[in-house]
Structure formats: structure tokens, C-alpha cells
Amino acid sequence: MPRHIRSLAAAAVFIAIYVFWLHSHPEALSFREQYQMFLFSWDYLLEHLLIAGGMAEYIGEFLMQFCYYPAIGAALVTLPFLLLLVGISLTGSRMGGKGHYVLSLLPILLMLAYMGDENVKVTFLVSMTASVLAALPYAGMEGAHCRVVTRLVVVPATYWLCGPGGAMVYTLVCLSADWRRGRWADGAWPVAYLAGLVTASGFTLMSQYTPVDILFGQNYHNLRMSVPAMQFVVEAACALTPVAIASLPSVRSRWAVWAEAGAVAAGGCALIAFSFGSDKYDAIEFDYLVRREKWDRIIEKAETDGAKDPVSLTSLNLALAMRGQLCDRMFEFSQMGTEGLLAPSRRNQFSSLPTAEALFRLGMVNEAQHYFFDLQESILDCRKSGRLSKRVAETLIINGKYEMARKYLSRLEETLFYSEWAKKAENALGNETAINAHPTWGRIRRLRYSQSFFGNYNEMDKMLGILFMENAENKMALDYYLAQCMLKRDLKQLWAGLGWIRQTYGDKPPRHVQEAVAMTWAQGHTSFDGVPLPLSREVTSDFTEFARLYSAGSSNPQLNTDKWRKTYWHYLLSAKPDAHTGATDSAIQEATR
């Protein structure tokens, strides 16, 4: 393949991967960026250099911090893919390859598919790229003594800088180059010696790590209980593709080359689509949009794709609340009970994030702080998070805990993209006038609880009621209170808030609230005369028709039409009773008589 064609092909691959990261899955890069906090300090660098693979991890985190801005981050993360492609292609060429360069794309596609696992760190990509590039000079090196000395120096260095996976790939590429020269024995004995040396040094210098970490890498993947099989597949592809390029017979037919390229591309793209096609990426994308406050985009996505899990649903309900549509539209989407509104805090790094953001905006500062702190302490690789540290610092500032906030801000000041914000925040510490005038901190200070009490997730509706009762400006708290009551199927508790509803909404209460009041009123009345909340003619007419259809049996297929599926009445019939309310289907049946 002519050199200019290979250059154009490499440029096309770079553009394709860049577009993939930027437009198809920017949330995958944002997800990784939000669980690290790269610090520009000598201590942070030294911390990485003291462990095997630490330098690759340091470079990977350096690149990942730029994903704070997706366009820049996508370009920088794509660069190692391009270097890996070029390194594999040139190494195969130096081994004597004269064709099959399209196979260089195979490790790239496998790497991209492997990164569909959100716990795969960019460290692994950097490690594979660096090890292949380190082996490139060796592939064309002459002289037995020169090669032995190179291995003696580079293998331990690769092990310590890139980790065990990088050292293994480098060693296999070197062995492949020696095998192509017919000097297999010459390359084998130093490698066997170095393998023992590296293992011994690893156990000596890294005794705090398990044998699995030492032999297979402790900073390639966040879940370190076992090593994913796909890691070995990618390592094997990076190590063996150059020798495959050099060893396969030349193909002169242009059609055969195109067929080979098509097979590699089709197989790789199918694997990538499968890897990034799971429902978890829907949840990750919803959280990504919450982080960037793209409320309309969240609602549009839910209208198109639905919200299939509590994380997605919590994000959607928050977006509806931010647009003032929560109690008008929430039952247009399939609800999953109260955990789809405000989920309990769980000791993992992700599932409670949208809930924490909702609590923060509601003014439940102490609860939000608890959530954000637990989320940060649950990060799988025990790193700190720029996003979560910023939020914890804000909750401390709002509560007037300035010295504690200063500790978080001092670390954020050592970052690239959070430092300017942290410096401004630190300058505001103790300045009550500036904090009260701040558009976020001042507003939440006015909305938060005026009295201290122990929070109880099982009494979330009462906590939301107190929040609104102390500050009627907090309309979002009332929306969440009403939504919580409806999701718990606690119509009695909702009825207790009728005064707040009239005070806040006047003659136009939200649609779903009207539906709930209509059902409650119907339990003891034959008409809607005298109902204490204004009900639109559309709601009363729809309820009468719904009750007529339900009287024919709860399994009536007409109840599952799109019109009724978007009502609170359908939720009451289809959702399981909430464990906290004791509501039963008999209450619904009586309400629709």
C-alpha cells in the first residue's frame, strides 16, 4: 500500500474515532473524567511513579482531564488510538511486511470496543500505545548484543512505566521480531531471565498489592477483583498483529484488499455497537446531560427512548421539575415508584448522582452533602472527583463551614479546569454579603431548612413538606412533595397539601394533581360539585370515562391505550404498592366505583 494512501487512511481513522467520541458517546469520556481529579503537583506525580504502570496512569489522567470540554478531550483521547495504529503498522513493515496493513485497524477496533466497559481506564490505552511504540526501534534493530542490551533496559522500564500488560506486549513484539529473523533462541533466554527479574522486583517493591495486580496490572481497570478476558484479547492483538502483517502472504488483488478491510471494519464496528449499546449508557447519558443542565435535551431523549432505570428516571424527573412540568407530565413516562424521584443513598459511585443533584437544587443541603460525600468515597479506584469535590465544597460554603470548605478548595486549585472557580470561591469565604448575593449559594441558603432535624428517607414527603412550609418561594419543593405523595399512592397525604396547592397554583393546578384529587373526591361523592380544588372540564370528563372503562374490569384492554397510559390513574392501577404506604388495590377500586 503506497505511503500516501496509508497516511490518508490513518487520518480517516482519526476523524472517525474523534467523531465517535464527540457525537456518539461524549458521556463515556465525561463519565471517566468526573471520577478523577488530576493535580499539577510534584506529590501527585511521585505518587504515580512509585507504582508499576503509574506513568501510563498519570498520562491517561492528564489526557482525561480535558474531557471537561468534550471537543478537546475527544481529540486528545483519539491521539493514542492514532499512535497505536501507526506504531503497529510501522512495526509490521519493519518486520518485513509488504501488505495486509489494514490488519493494523484490528487492535484499534478491539480497544475501542473494550472501552465500552466504562470501568476500563485510559491508562490501558496509553500503556498499549507506549509499549508498541517502544518496540518499534527494536523491530528493525541489527546486532545480537545491541538487542540483548535493549531488552535488559527497556523491559524493566516498560514494566514500571506502562505496567505488566505493556511489558508483556513489548516482550512479545520483540520475540516476534527475533523469530522473523530466525534468531528465536537468541531472543528467548534474556526474556525468560527478565520475566523472573521483573516478577521478583514486583513482589519486592509492590508487596502491598495482590499477585493479580502485579502480574496483570492494577491500574488498567477499576474493578480489580479479576481481569476481564477482553484485556488479554486486546493485548494479544497489539502484540501479534505486527508479525501477522509481516508473515501473511502478499495479496495483489485490489478486491481482496477491500474485502479484508470490509471484514475487519464490519466485525469491529459490530463489536463496538454491541459494547456501547447496553442500557447502562442510557443512564450515563442522562447523568451527563444533568451535569451540563441540558434539561430540554433530557426530556427530548426520554420522549424518544424512554427512561428505563431509576437513574434515568430520576434525571428525567429533575429535568421536568427544573422546567416546571413535573406534576403536569411525569406520568407521561413509565414511573418506578419513589426511587425514580429521589433514590436512597447507596454506597456506589454512580446510582445516587441525579438524586444528589436534585437534593442540592431543592435546598436540602445536608442531605445533598451526605450523598455527594458518599459518592466520592465510593469511587472504585479510590481517587477523588473534581465534580463531586466541587459540590461538597459548595454545600459547606452554603452551611457556613468555611474552614472545611477551604480544604476542598485548596485541592481544586491544583487542577486545570476547576482552579479558577476554586480561587473565586475561596476569596468569597467569610464574605456573607457575596455569598448571599451568589445566584446559586444565596438562593439555596434562602431555601434550606431553618431548623436542624434528623433526616429519614422513608419520610421524604414530610421533609419536602417542611421545606416548602418554611419557604413558599421554593415551588420545586412543593412539586416534589406532590410527586412523592402520588408515587407512594398516598392520596390522604396529598389531600393534606390542598391549601399549599391553591396558594401556589391558584385556579390552574397541575394536571396530575387534578387527576389525583378527582380520584380521591370520587371515593365519597357522586359528582364533582363542591370539590375543594379547581378541576378542568377535561379532567372530570376523562375521569368519568376512565371509571366507566375500569368498571368493566381492570384487565380491560382499552385502559392500556396511549391516552390512559399518560395519566396518574393508570399508574395507580399498574404500579405495585409502595412499601411505605400500605395502599392497596381495594382503595383504587372504591375510588372508581
pLDDT in tens, 459-494: 999 999 999 999 999 999 999 999 999 999 998 899
- Length in residues, the chain: 593
Asked if the model's pLDDT at residue 189 lies above 60, the reply is no
- The secondary structure of residue 476, as a DSSP letter, is H
Asked if the model's pLDDT at residue 223 lies above 50, the reply is yes
**130: pLDDT confidence band, cut at 50, 70 and 90?**
very high
Asked if the model's pLDDT at residue 586 lies above 50, the reply is no
Q: What is the mean pLDDT of residues 189-216?
A: 67
Q: What are phi and psi of 120, to 5 degrees?
A: -75, 130
Closest CA relative to residue 282, chosen from 112, 74, 110, 28 = 28
Closest CA relative to residue 91, chosen from 266, 221, 246, 247 = 246
Asked if the model's pLDDT at residue 251 lies above 80, the reply is no
pLDDT digits (tens, 9 = 90+) for 171-182: 889 888 888 877
Give the three cell numbers for residue 114: 473494550
**272: pLDDT confidence band, cut at 50, 70 and 90?**
very high
Tally of CB atoms within 10 A around 530: 7
CA pair distance 175, 155, nearest whole angstrom: 12
CA pair distance 315, 300, nearest whole angstrom: 12
Q: Is the four-CA dihedral 210, 211, 215, 221 of positive or negative sign? A: negative
Between vectors from CA 77 to CA 74 and to CA 83, what angle results, nearest 5°?
130
CA pair distance 356, 344, nearest whole angstrom: 10
Asked if the model's pLDDT at residue 592 lies above 60, the reply is no
Q: Which residues contact 591 (CB under 8 A, 6 or more apart)?
A: 519, 520, 522, 523
Q: For residues 79 and 278, which has the higher predicted lDDT (pLDDT)?
A: 79
Average of per-residue pLDDT values in the chain:
88
**185: pLDDT confidence band, cut at 50, 70 and 90?**
low
**What is the value of pTM for the model shown?**
0.91
CA pair distance 241, 577, nearest whole angstrom: 57
**154: pLDDT confidence band, cut at 50, 70 and 90?**
confident
In SS3 terms, 214-272 reads as: HHHCCCCECCCCCCCHHHHHHHHHHHHHHHHHHHCCCCCCHHHHHHHHHHHHHHHHHHH
**194: pLDDT confidence band, cut at 50, 70 and 90?**
low
Q: For residues 469 and 203, which has the higher predicted lDDT (pLDDT)?
A: 469
Residue 453: the pLDDT is 76
Q: Is the four-CA dihedral 326, 328, 329, 334 of positive or negative sign? A: positive
- The secondary structure of residue 338, as a DSSP letter, is G
Q: Residue 23, class by beta-carbon neighbours within 10 Å (0-12 exposed, 13-18 middle, 19+ buried)?
A: exposed
Residue 215: the pLDDT is 78
Residue 252: the pLDDT is 62
Q: What is the mean pLDDT of residues 543-552?
A: 88
Q: What is the mean pLDDT of residues 139-159?
A: 81
Residue 247: the pLDDT is 86
- Ranges of beta strands (E only) in 9-118 are none
CA pair distance 158, 126, nearest whole angstrom: 12
Between vectors from CA 125 to CA 119 and to CA 127, what angle results, nearest 5°?
115
Residue 482: the pLDDT is 96
